[in-house]
Structure 1
Amino acid sequence: MVIFTEEILNQKSHMLELLKVLRDAMNHEFRGFYLDYQPQVNGRTKALTGVEALVRFCDEKGNRISPVEFIPVMEKEGMIYEMGRWVLRQAIRDAGEWIRIKPDFDISVNASALEMMNDQYIEDVEKILEEEKFPAKNLVIELTESSAVQRMDIFRNKYKKLREMGIRIAMDDFGTGYSSLEFLKNAPIDLVKIDRSFLKDILYSRFDSAFITFIVEICHDVNIKVCQEGVETLEEYEMLKKMELDCIQGYYFGKPMSKNAIRNKISAECQTEGND
């Protein structure tokens, strides 16, 4: 027997209202949706090398709604694929300006398992790249480890096709799933992003330090690059510097920011390099 308390009814009412707001936004060309970008830097030089696109939403009343709240709703209601296409197009449209300043700049875009399962996914990615005249070599598709591992047999061919187009494949949240090393052995990927959980205790945990060093070494042996997520302090970065990570991402190097702020950072770095 289920007892519908006032709290449950309020939650259901809130979810129905959120669903209505999200559908209305999508029907008006994704009104209220926007992207922020978190910087990714070279592990040795700290030079800006790319960004990860992060979707945001603000309703007409000015209330910012967390992705943790709206993304599950969109997945449940079958809206996530359409939003994923919008995110990809918007991200590479913004990045088109950045790569004119810095040609080797990377844009990372997340893809959920539900998106990858769509029969049109590969065709739509290729179409968007062609329409926006964006070079595939500057695009990184990020997959969460859980979805990548659990659906390897289904997605292996799609990973292969994306890489044949010149797109790189990254596995996000590495280390949180039980099949991590098996995935490294069998998956056609180019980059692993080590989860923040292996960094937060690095200053006093020999295991965490050894784990990151081990993953970097084994990945580099098979030509897979490694990025550490969630770096928040100078002390953490100082510990990581000697581990030969390819890139680092975290609040220490910049919180998610607007496309104009990213453009200004790229321009400033390029100008500094030109003056050296």
Structure 2
Amino acid sequence: MTISDDRKRKLDGLFKAFSIVADGTYVFVCDMQYNYSRWSKSAVDFFGLPGEYMEHAGEIWGEHIHPDDKGSYDESMDALFSGKATSHDMQYRTISRDGHYVMCTCKGVVLFKDDGNLDYFCGSIRNHGLFGHVNDLTGLRNKYGFFEDLRSAISKEQPFVVSTISLTHFSDINTVYGYEFGNLVVQKFARKLVDYIGNRGLIYRLDGVKFGVVSESLSIDELKAYYERIRSMINDGFMVDNRDIRLQTSAGAIAVDRFPVSDKVVYSCLVYSVGNSKRYRQGDMEVFDNRLTKENMDKLDRLEAIRNSVAHNYEGFCLYYQPVMDASTETLKGAEALIRWQNDRFGLVYPNDFIPVLESDAIFPILGEWILTQAMTDAKRFIEKFPDFILNINLSYVQLKRTDFVETVKRILMETGFPTKNLCFELTERCRFVEKEILYAALMSFRQMGIKIALDDFGTGFASIDILKYITFDTIKIERIFVKDIAANEKEERLLGIFTDVAATFGSDVCVEGIETGTIRDIVKKYHVNSLQGYLYSKPVSLEDFLAKYIDC
């Protein structure tokens, strides 16, 4: 059936309108009644198509698509022309005139007649081979393309979901089979991702063996379902170069439905979530909880505000100090510096509500430097009155992983003039994410400088006896959970005795946290304990209150 002149004029009009907003993409418009299309001349020239005007262009274009991608493409086209689908959004490899495959992203929508019948299929194709941000190994958009598309999705202010999927223990593949075979596995997995997600989202190759997914059509529950299907497939094994390969994955996801928000905050939430998936959930997808809090505040809004505060001269950040008391005399021995953030909208925010996520952000080391500098500056006033005062500062695993962190500490010590003999670094539970060799080298450097090292939260998570075998600690801090019920629980008291014996064996002092009542204090003091910390003496207080109570009195 030959297209009428009126229909052809309308097709040309639509093509012109779409071309105006094409923004560096090829445009196509298909009259679905006649299956007659017009395509951008640049696409015709690059891919060697028959001409700008084509009958059955979908079939012609399908012949240019890589055989491994064609099944998903045909399925999407059949759904469009049968009326089962109204839009098209997928990635595939397409062969150019010179015989090379390039990755393309094709997006299109169906326009309907007033009577509900199919009228036009209009859309655009982005040739990533021309516009960059493409990973050479997989043909997928790379990390730069991911952030470009993430920012684009955010700018539309329409809900979407985004996920990162990481292959875990992949170094074993490279060790056993070699890097060349490892690259084949990455390529195969990338194609599996594209096949499973299909027309429902865009796939990206991020750093290493991490992949990204951005979807404007899937819900979080649907995304989780697809992830489980992919995970089951690779756990059961798939063939690569006649070898049966089994992989493990971890994944994080977030539903972005409140705006404005920055791409960097979204990505930090993803990194945090995929880390939790690997460490605590055996690879189950960890969805970042973006629900409204009890104060009716959105977590992403709060993280965005906190991140912006770092960039705006640390506005809203301050340090609180909780006294550490000598166990024998119950007089001031030192204090632990604790970060807080506050503004008019969100009130006072505690570190557990932002540090774990912010650690995944590139801006965190800057905040870490501010904490060190501010704490040492504040504490110089403390040691004027108490020369033996010990300032305790918590270190993040992100800081300890940095190769320049020791030099950073030396620089801050020089700038503030703070004596190393009055400084103690506390290792938190998350420091277990640092390789032992790197952690040991950093701590040895600090000890050589005269800085004391404390093991925080002993008996929980990272803070186990194992680490005592290769690192010497000046102080072991026993967490509140082990003494809060000590008055009514004989097992807790026996456990406290065991902990103090372990500390004595390794030559470490003991600080017990969670001293909230006189009864707890009296029981704890029966054992070899050097210092006490808890609400019985004081909760963490502002610098002004600490000065008024202990220094300027």
TM-score, normalized by length of structure 1?
A: 0.89
Distance 2:426 2:478 in 1: 12
Match of 2:452 among 168, 179, 182: 168
> Does the alignment pair 1:128 with 2:344?
no
Moved more, 72-81 or 195-204: 72-81
Deviates more, 1:174-183 or 1:136-145: 174-183
Q: Confirm or deny: 8 A CA contact 2:376 2:416 kept in the other structure.
A: yes
Q: CA 1:187–1:241 in 2, change beyond 3 Å: closer, same or farther? A: same
Partner of 1:22: 306
Q: Does 1:3 align with 2:287?
A: no
Q: CA, structure 1 residues 101+183, in 2 after alignment: closer, same or farther (shift >3 Å)?
A: same
How many angstroms apart in 2 are the aligned matches of 1:109 and 1:3?
A: 42
Could you tell me how far apart the structure 2 residues matched to 1:148 and 1:45 are?
34
Instruction: Tell me the distance in 2 between the aligned counterparts of 1:250 and 1:41.
Output: 9
Write the distance in 2 (CA, Å) between the matches of 1:146 and 1:20. 23
Whether the 8 Å CA contact 2:452–2:474 is kept in 1: the answer is: yes
Contact 1:38 1:255 (C-alpha < 8 Å) held by counterparts: yes
Gaps of 5+ in 2: 1-196, 198-217, 222-253, 259-289, 293-297
What is the CA-CA distance between 1:60 and the residue it aligns to? 4.7
Matched with 1:191 is 475
Instruction: Provide the rounded CA distance (Å) in 1 between the counterparts of 2:495 and 2:462.
Output: 14
- Aligned residue-pair number: 268
Which residue does the alignment assign to 1:113? 397
Contact 2:397 2:434 in 1 (8 A): no
Q: How far did 1:29 drift? A: 1.1
SS for the counterpart of 1:186 is coil
Q: Deviations over 1:148-171 (max 9, x none)?
A: 486323210111000100101111
Contact 1:102 1:266 in 2 (8 A): no
Contact 1:57 1:64 in 2 (8 A): yes
Report the alpha carbon displacement of residue 248 of structure 1 after superposing the two structures with TM: 0.8
**How far, CA to CA, are the matches of 2:464 and 2:448 in structure 1?**
24
Aligned in 2, Cα 1:150/1:4: closer, same or farther, shift over 3 Å?
closer
1:53·1:110 contact (CA, 8 Å) conserved in 2? Answer: yes
| Distance (whole Å) between structure 1 residues aligned to residue 511 and residue 350 of structure 2 | 25
State the match for 1:36 in structure 2.
320
**What is the CA deviation profile of residues 169-206 of structure 1, one whole-angstrom value per residue up to 9, with x for unaligned ones?**
11111001377122222212211101111112211222
SS of aligned partner of 2:529: coil
Q: Report the RMSD for the aligned CA atoms in angstroms.
A: 2.3
Task: Give the aligned residue type for 1:45.
Answer: T
1: CA distance, partners of 2:396 / 2:506: 26
**What's the counterpart of residue 245 of structure 1?**
529
1:88 counterpart letter in structure 2: L
2:411 aligned counterpart, secondary structure: helix
Q: Which one scores higher on RCO, CA 8 angstroms, separation ≥ 6?
A: 1
Are residues 121 and 63 of structure 1, via their aligned partners in 2, closer, same or farther at CA, if it must alter by over 3 Å? same
Q: Which moved more, 1:124-133 or 1:195-204?
A: 195-204
Percent identity between matched residues is 33
Q: Deviations over 1:72-112 (max 9, x none)?
A: 23112222211111011100100001101110001100011
Which of the numbers 522, 538, 543 marks the counterpart of 1:254? 538
Q: Provide the rounded CA distance (Å) in 2 between the counterparts of 1:29 and 1:152.
A: 34
2:173 maps to what in 1? none
Report the secondary structure of 1:36's partner residue. strand
> Which whole-Å deviations, capped at 9, do the CAs of 1:197-231 have from their partners, x for residues lacking one?
11122112222111211221232243211101111
Q: 1:90 aligns with which of 351, 354, 374?
A: 374
Taking the aligned partners of 2:454 and 2:433, their CA distance within structure 1 comes to 13
- Classify the secondary structure of the residue corresponding to 1:76: coil
Residue number in structure 2 paired with 1:155: 439
- In structure 1, stretches of 5+ residues that fail to align are 272-276
Greater strand fraction, Structure 1 or Structure 2: 2
Deviation string 1:99-151 (CA, Å, 9 cap, x unpaired) is 01110001100011111101111001111011100000111101114524863
C-alpha deviation, 1:12, in angstroms = 7.2
Q: Tell me if the contact between 2:339 and 2:350 (Cα under 8 Å) persists in the aligned partners.
A: no
Q: Distance in 2 between matches of 1:149 and 1:207?
A: 31
**Could you tell me how far apart the structure 2 residues matched to 1:115 and 1:167 are?**
16
Q: Deviations over 1:28-78 (max 9, x none)?
A: 210100010011101121111011011000125462223222212311222
Does the 8 Å CA contact 1:92/1:132 hold for their aligned counterparts? yes
1:132-147 correspondence to structure 2 within 5 Å: 132-147=416-431
Aligned to 1:274: none
Structure index of larger Rg: 2
Give the structure 1 partner of residue 335 of structure 2: 51
Letter in 2 for 1:71: I
With normalisation by structure 2, the TM-score equals 0.46
Is residue 230–residue 249 contact of structure 1 (8 Å, CA) maintained in 2?
A: yes
2:343 equivalent to 1:70: no
Matching of residue 204 in structure 1 with residue 420 in structure 2? no
Q: Contact 1:213 / 1:243 at 8 angstroms: preserved in 2?
A: yes
Q: Is the 8 A contact 1:149 1:179 kept in 2?
A: no
